[in-house]
Amino acid sequence: MNSAAAWGLASILIGGLGTLAIFSFLWRENRFYRFFEHLFIGIAAGLGPIVIVRDFFWPKVIEPMLGGNITVYPDGTLSEPYQPLYLLYIVPILFGCLYYFIYSRRYAWLAKVVIGFTLGLYATLSIRGFFSEVVPQLQGSFKPLVVMTDGVLDIYQSLNNCAFVVILLLVMNYFFFTLGKREGALQAKVAPLGRPLLMVCFGAFFGSTVMARLALLVERVQFLLRDWLGAVATMVGVG
């Protein structure tokens, strides 16, 4: 067996052990499960910061600051001039360091300044997100109630569109509390209809989620039965 195959085998064996450990939780919480659970958390916690430094901090911040993105040709000329403006990145880096004052009882309020700044930043990003994502959906929701295909009324599509708009309005009405629902008004009369429609929606969601998780479960079981047992057989010399 060459080294590539040996590494592949080791990867499958460890992955299978880990999968069995996680599934052992179905029996009850045990040491085998807790070991791999903590290992998983450790790996995830270690990967996050490194990925941020590798994919964002180094190529987008440090390299431009140090001029690492500029090519020096063999005759000494540069692919582009150095931009000293990139050195201004030091300002947000120092400002971001204020987060760490959270450990100081006296200066903890400085951390609040930077937390406030970040909150403001993401608040306006979500305002932007609303107009670029939700507004087009709102426009797209009001579909034509009468659909003509080649000059002929498409009854099926028209009924579907009518159902879509009616369900949308009924569910929105169910959640409309701003002005209160006057007793006897149409708005109050149709409000209870939103609830069963929401239940249909939640049921469909539930079904989709279960199927997605079951697909993963089937994949895991296949991995254990096919790849992992195969690797175990190879290791003990049966396969």
Partner 1 sequence: MTQKQADIRTRCVRIATFLGGLYFFLYFVAPQSVVSQFGIDKLDEPISNGLSIVGTMAFGLGLLNIVSAHGMRLAFGRAGWFYSLTLLGGLVSTVVITTSQWMESVSTSRQIRSVQIVGEFAARIKDDAAVSHGGVSQDVQNARIIKQSGDVPLVPTRVAALVRYAESEVATMRNVVAHETHRDLRDAGTTQLIRELDADLSAFTELVRELSAESSRETTMTPGQESLLERVSRDSTKIASTYALIIRADRNHALSQRLYDLLYNGLFNQLGSAMFALLGVYIAAAAYRAFRIRSIESALMMTAALVVMMGQISFGRMLSEELPSMRQWLLEVPNSAAFRAIRLGAGVAGLLLAIRMWLSIESSTNSSEHT
Looking only at residues 136 through 195 of this chain, which bind partner 1 when binding is defined by CB under 8 A? 137-138, 141, 160, 163-165, 167-172, 175, 195
CA distance 36 to 32: 7
Q: How far is the CB of 172 from partner 1 (least distance, A)?
A: 5
Binding positions for partner 1, 6-25, rule CB under 8 A:
7, 10-12, 14-16, 18-19, 22-23, 25
CA distance 19 to 130: 40
Residue from 87, 149, 213, 233 in contact with partner 1 (CB under 8 A): 213
Nearer to partner 1, 27 or 151 (CB): 27
Closest CA relative to residue 158, chosen from 145, 142, 143: 145
CA distance 200 to 167: 11
Binding positions for partner 1, 37-66, rule CB under 8 A:
38-52, 54, 56-57, 60-61, 64
Helix and strand element counts for the chain (H, E): 10, 2
Q: Looking at 90-98, 144-152, 181-189, 229-237, which segment touches partner 1 (CB under 8 A)?
A: 90-98
Count of residues touching partner 1 (by CB under 8 A)? 123
Closest CA relative to residue 39, chosen from 6, 17, 8, 7: 17
Give CA angle at 28 (26, 29), nearest 5°. Answer: 110
Binding positions for partner 1, 64-83, rule CB under 8 A:
64, 71, 73-82
CA distance 173 to 190: 8
The token pair that represents 87 in the structure block: 């050195």
CA distance 116 to 110: 10
Nearer to partner 1, 121 or 184 (CB): 121
Q: How far is the CB of 233 from partner 1 (least distance, A)?
A: 18
Nearer to partner 1, 151 or 160 (CB): 160
Q: Looking at 144-152, 181-189, 215-223, 231-239, which segment touches partner 1 (CB under 8 A)?
A: 215-223
